[in-house]
Copies of this chain bind each other. A is one copy, B any other.
Amino acid sequence: MVGGSLEGFIGAVHRMSAALDGRIELVCGAFSSNPSRSSATGEALGLTKTRVYDSYEEMILSEKVLPEAERMEFVTIVTPNHLHFYPAKLALESGFHVLCEKPITFSLAEAEALAEIAKKSGLLFGLMHNYTGYPMVKEARNLVNRGKIGKIRKVIAEYPQGWLSGALEADGQKQASWRTDPKQAGLSCCVGDIGTHAENISEYITGLSIKELSADVSTFVEGRLLDDDANILVRFNNGAKGVIIASQIANGDENELRIRLYGEKGSIEWLQSEPNSLILKHNDEPRQVLKAGNNHTYLSEHAREHCRLPAGHPEGYLESMANLYRNFADAVYNFKLGQHLNPLYDFPTIEDGVRGMKFIEMVIASGKENGKWLKL
């Protein structure tokens, strides 16, 4: 693991998710750019001292020379955005698969370069767009694929949250500080952090691509250097229209990621705060509420394979992320055996990452040009 010291929040989240299924063991880490923090974290986690490193370079280069049976099998990167590219590059070039937090890099240029590197390496690259790991998101994708709502006409994807309503970064709050700092976060705060989730889930479920967009991007909190709100009109490659709303000043909202898909024959709705339900609607028919559960025969195999429990046992965010870890680990395992990857165990890849970076850059650019429609 690169990044994820005890001080932060995201390292623990990744560790819990990776541990859940008992298929992944954390064997080494460079948890912080501050060596004493890294070693304190490693110690708290009970790692062998020699495998708690002072830097990602040291980690990757040291692990590389260990005997194959001992060395780490893949690298997971959970640092702020500006510290994704170099560790990922070095890991790939040193022969390690990479699982990386989103957005994939600091800039589109970096993302494209990394995609080249990954391609050349022939190794696996996973991207932590974990919302697509929820079973009912998988189900939504399957319902669309099977034509249950007909040709998609309209997509509304929102991600309102309220935690940046005030100037937390002025108080030095760690999460807020790097996310609102152009040197660490890149071009965007709100669009990069959560807008990309809305974009990714829209394309994942529909199988469509956003073709062009027009954005109204705002910074409401005085003194903030990056955006904290965006309203975006989008058009898809099949002619569908859409709206993407991302906000970090939606005071009182938590992570109300919600997606609605309207097709010629029906519609689908999913809400992250009630992740185990999926609503399926058709004009003049009762609404259907599908519920997660590995015993629900009415769900697709794809969805069932991403439930750990029978219906009636709510699963949540950690489980969605654990699905991504499980799928990536399964891919690593099959890769090692020279086998095909299991198509049921899918995960976002570097292409999603490049697409996300393009989305960010186009949204910010459109915002600067007063909502000019730009191609994606």
Q: Give chain B residues whose Cβ lies under 8 Å from the Cβ of A162.
A: 262, 267, 281, 283
Q: Does A285 contact B (CB under 8 A)?
A: yes
* A273 contacts across to B, CB distance below 8 A: 276, 312, 314
Partner of A254, one of B161, B245, B252, B293: B293
Q: Using an 8 Å CB-CB cutoff, how does the interface string of A223-257 with B read, 1 for contact, 0 for none?
A: 00000010101010000011101010111111110
Tell me whether A338 is interfacial, beta carbon within 8 Å: no
CA distance A284 to B254 in the complex (A): 9
Interface size on A, residues (CB 8 A): 89
A115 at the interface (CB under 8 A from B): no
A residues 336-376 touching B (CB-CB < 8 Å): 370-371, 373
Residue of B nearest to A295 (CB): B284
Would A251 and B281 count as touching, CB distance under 8 A?
A: yes
Q: How far is the CA of A76 from the CA of B237 in the complex (A)?
A: 47
Q: A243-B245, A245-B156 are in contact. Are A266 and B251 (CB under 8 A)?
A: yes
Contacts of A220 in B (CB 8 A): 153-154
- Report which of B154, B264, B280 forms a contact with A286, defined as CB distance below 8 A: B280
Name A256's closest neighbour in chain B (CB-CB).
B312
Q: A163-B283, A252-B267, A274-B274 are in contact. List 16 more A-B contacts (CB 8 A).
A: A12-B308, A13-B308, A13-B309, A150-B251, A165-B283, A214-B216, A214-B371, A251-B262, A251-B267, A251-B283, A252-B281, A253-B262, A253-B281, A288-B288, A288-B289, A316-B319
B22 touches A22 (CB 8 A): no
Q: How far is the CA of A20 from the CA of B12 in the complex (A)?
A: 10
Shortest Cβ distance from A311 into B: residue: B254
Is A86 an interface residue, CB under 8 A from the partner? Answer: no
27 contacts between A and B (CB under 8 A): A9-B310, A13-B308, A13-B309, A19-B19, A20-B20, A22-B46, A153-B229, A156-B158, A162-B267, A214-B371, A229-B241, A231-B243, A251-B263, A251-B265, A251-B283, A252-B262, A252-B280, A252-B281, A252-B282, A253-B267, A284-B295, A308-B318, A313-B318, A314-B316, A316-B316, A370-B373, A371-B371
